[in-house]
A and B are shown apart, each in its own frame.
Chain A
Amino acid sequence: MRLDSNFVFNKIYGIEFGVLSPRMIEKMSSVAITSSELYDIDGFPVDGGLADMRLGITDPGLVCRTCGNTIKDCPGHFGHLELARPVFNIKMIPKIYDLLNATCDACGRILIPEAVLKKATITMDAIEAREGDLGKKRYVRKLIKHAKSINTCPFCHSKQHKVKLEKPYTFMYNGQKLNASDVRERLERISDADLQFLGMSQEYSRPEWMIFTVLPIPPVTIRPPITLESGQKSEDDLTHKLTDIVRTNQRLAENIKSGAPEVIIEELWDLLQYHITTFISNGTAQVPIARHKSGKKLKTLEDRIKGKEGRFRGSTLGKRANYSARSTISPDSMIRLDEVGVPMQIAKEVTYPERVTEMNIDRLKSLIKNLDGYPNASYIVTPDGIRRKITESTVQNILDELKPGYIVERSMLNGDIILFNRQPSLHRLSIMGHSVRVLDGKTFRINPASTLPYGADFDGDEMNIHVLQTEEALAEAALIMNIKNNIVSPRHGLPVIGAAQDYISGSAILTRKETKIDKSTAEDFLTFVGIDAKLSKSTYTGREIFSMLLPKDLNFESESSVYKFSNDEDSYVVIKNGKLERGIIDSATIGKENGSLLQYLFVQYGGETTAKFIDQLSRLALITLLKFGISANIANFDLPEKTMSEIYSIFEEANEEVNKMLKDYNKDVEQNILSLTNKVRGKIRNATRAGINKKANEIDDMMITGAKGSIMNFFPTAGMIGQQLLRDTRMSNGYDGRLTAHFKKNDMGLIPRGFVVSNYRDGLNPIEFFLHAGSSREGLMDNVIRTPVSGYMNRRLSSALQDLKVADDLSVREGNKIIQFMYGEDGLDVSLSDKGELNI
């Protein structure tokens, strides 16, 4: 938009919504519609037809007969249609219904005595001053409700009869139908003075205006015909509906003029009402839906505004972006953390406008010459803003013409910074800056270390990229939004990017004390990782190899995950001057939402170093795993005979205790039994944990390094599954007094109430299996129900907080309104803190 000094800037004081009066409709109309024909034999719009050229222009090159503008500037103009008989506006039916019953049948006054009205005026003003329009609306609703309940008119003392509404739009009075004319007459009788009590106004919304006598005809610009490939014109749904309306109206007018029987007129009148109803709202209850010949539902006015794809949610709040692309994602551990693999097809199609300078003109010229190859350029923009396509016929001229100041729209190149996004965008880490790496194939490639902030996996997830179009945006994406600078989350001060699963296993194996690597293998490792180092020794320990990734001046100490389990001094991580002296590098140091080492690196050395470390570490872990391998087997779940019998005796003891409780007290022991089963679970877990075979147990290795799994997965697999719960109680429903027909009635013992004695490895018996499935189903259902609920809650919160930002004085503001005087009250950037705390 052009900034014009003649613009007047004013604050909007308010918006008044109202109902158009017939006079207004005629006043704003540029054409009276008289014909249902659209075009004549020559294909020109008929005067007074629905494509009349005074309604606006949809063809390029033509000039609007109302405003004289061409397609670009003509906003379109309303027309009007004089209806032969009045017709209800379907959206106004509830209001009309209220008004008919709140006003006198005979005199049209509101059914509230004068004295009460006087008081109401004062109350209403007071409420409006106090609570604003909403309070006024509430009060008016109360008044109408009161008026509807009165049976005798306080003004003319006539007895009142109820008007009944037969959905969708027939009013019955005393057993007789009130047609739109009758209703309009009655609405006309309502006095201007009473309108304020009915929530209407003489100026903006006289009640009788809710019934059409003149129908506004929307401009063609909102219902443009589309030209099909065959050259045939296809009209918009709205135009289709309008022709129905005009045609029916014409027939009705003719029949009235020729004095046709009342039945025929009534029928046509009803048809007109139907067409106008569906024109406004094609989907009102009990109104048949207007359809195309093909059976497709016509999209009429309401459909354009309402719902998910309507004007508000679909157009105003949900926009589509140019210079973006979407594809399936797949993992690639060999690209850098801050890269994203972009398919060649996308790199060619989506462009970046690069400004020509003395420095880059030769490079850009070579791109222009490349025409259909890659990398190439597709358009140039001259300094006066003219866009020219680069084709075989224009390329020479463009090359000659090109000079600094021009803009070349070139294809994506390796190293370009783009934004990478996965929906739902739940937090700011859902969109981060990546640098482009053009690759073969059709998927976006992402480093698996960076899946957590996006919430991505590779089961078919799709993600979007946005190619930045300005230098400012580029700078923001390269610095502030870059994934490298967002390794530590602003929420809890822990890294959200880091190793997982195999990468943890790999680095844990590498950093075990006993891991030794001979020189040639070490060379392989370092080549794979991309480290150029001279190796002098004949063997290296894994810890020495790992130390090569660390900054030379790094001093760091931390518990490892293994240390937390085993208290083994050797697994406690100590790094001195960039040398890993002891300790196992596992999930506690490098894991996602865990890694203390990553967090320390990020705060001390910055994103660049941390990202490089993660990259090199991933590769080192991978090749370690490739060389040493890790494979779990069923025997990993073997527990010693002693442990198994211990677990069974835990169960036997509990079973006896339950039976004793039931015998001694019979009733009211359910709570005690429930808490007993919880204790049993804890005991089984501890017994299992103590019994796990620690030697050569890969599952245990994965558990204690934090790579995958925990004792909560292990004990039901190897030991005993235990009590199945439904709604936090023991299972009890099913047959009369028992779970299934296999149990005795009213037996409240452990097994008859869903205690599973088997484990996953040995398998469950059919009854156990059934009960276990019941418990699992509850979990699934909870999840299904919770997801939309928490999603909606999140949406409400995001909408309320979306405009907050931290100002340069560290206050949190919405616009200039202060929300918090110091961010987080302590003014700390959590992502640069020590897990949310200040550490000096």
Chain B
Amino acid sequence: MDIDIFNNRLSPKYKILDPNEADKILLRFKCSRSNLPKIKTTDPAVIALKANEGDILEITRASKSAGEAIYYRVVIR
């Protein structure tokens, strides 16, 4: 049975950044991919998105203090 894991109120919004956007993020935070939080290729969300190693995901989560909070994660093996 296929379940859409994003169709759940607890599941945050994911987006794969294109290389251009990804570079912008790295520049904005003055860091390299290795300094970002990581997410495994085996993570259900990564599988569902068909993201590849090295991709940067933009994750928009609900936040108690700010309403919405944006996090970035780099996909690792």
Contact = CB atoms under 8 A, between A and B. Distances in A.
Candidate in A811, A818, A825 with the most chain B CB atoms within 10 angstroms: A825
Given A816-B35, A817-B35, A822 B29 contact: no
Contacts of B35: 813, 816-818
A87 to B, nearest CB: 49
Candidate in B28, B29, B36 with the most chain A CB atoms within 10 angstroms: B29
B31 interface: yes
Contacts of A824: 65-66
Given A818-B29, A818-B35, A821-B29, A826 B70 contact: no
A811 B29 contact: yes
A803 interface: no
A811 B31 CA distance: 12
Interface string A809-820: 101010011111
Interface string B7-32: 00000000000000000000011110
Given A809-B29, A821-B70, 6 more contacts: A809-B28, A816-B31, A818-B37, A824-B65, A824-B66, A825-B65
Given A816-B35, A818-B36, A825 B69 contact: yes
Nearest to B65: A826
24 contacts: A809-B28, A809-B30, A811-B29, A813-B35, A816-B31, A816-B35, A817-B35, A818-B36, A818-B72, A820-B71, A821-B29, A821-B69, A821-B70, A821-B71, A821-B72, A824-B65, A824-B66, A825-B69, A826-B63, A826-B65, A826-B66, A827-B66, A828-B65, A836-B65
A813 B29 CA distance: 11
Interface of B: 28-31, 35-37, 63-66, 69-72
A278 to B, nearest CB: 49
A816 B28 CA distance: 13
A620 B28 CA distance: 53
A25 B36 CA distance: 46
Candidate in B30, B36, B65, B69 with the most chain A CB atoms within 10 angstroms: B65
Contacts of B31: 816, 818
Contacts of A811: 29
A819 B72 CA distance: 10
Contacts of A818: 29, 31, 35-37, 72
A824 B65 CA distance: 7
A690 B39 CA distance: 60
Contacts of B28: 809
Interface in A728-777: none
A817 B63 CA distance: 22
A825 B29 contact: no
Given A811-B29, A818-B35, A825 B72 contact: no
Contacts of B63: 825-826
B18 to A, nearest CB: 19
A33 B66 CA distance: 72
A836 B29 CA distance: 26
Nearest to B64: A825
Contacts of A819: 37
B59 to A, nearest CB: 10
Contacts of B30: 809
Contacts of B37: 818-819
B69 to A, nearest CB: 4
A809 B25 CA distance: 13
A824 B67 CA distance: 11
Given A811-B29, A816-B31, A818-B29, A825 B66 contact: yes
A657 B20 CA distance: 75
A825 B36 CA distance: 16
Contacts of B64: 825
A822 B66 contact: yes
A821 B30 CA distance: 12
B2 to A, nearest CB: 29
A826 B71 CA distance: 13
Contacts of B29: 809, 811, 818, 821
Nearest to A809: B29
Contacts of B72: 818, 821
A819 B66 CA distance: 17
A128 B31 CA distance: 30
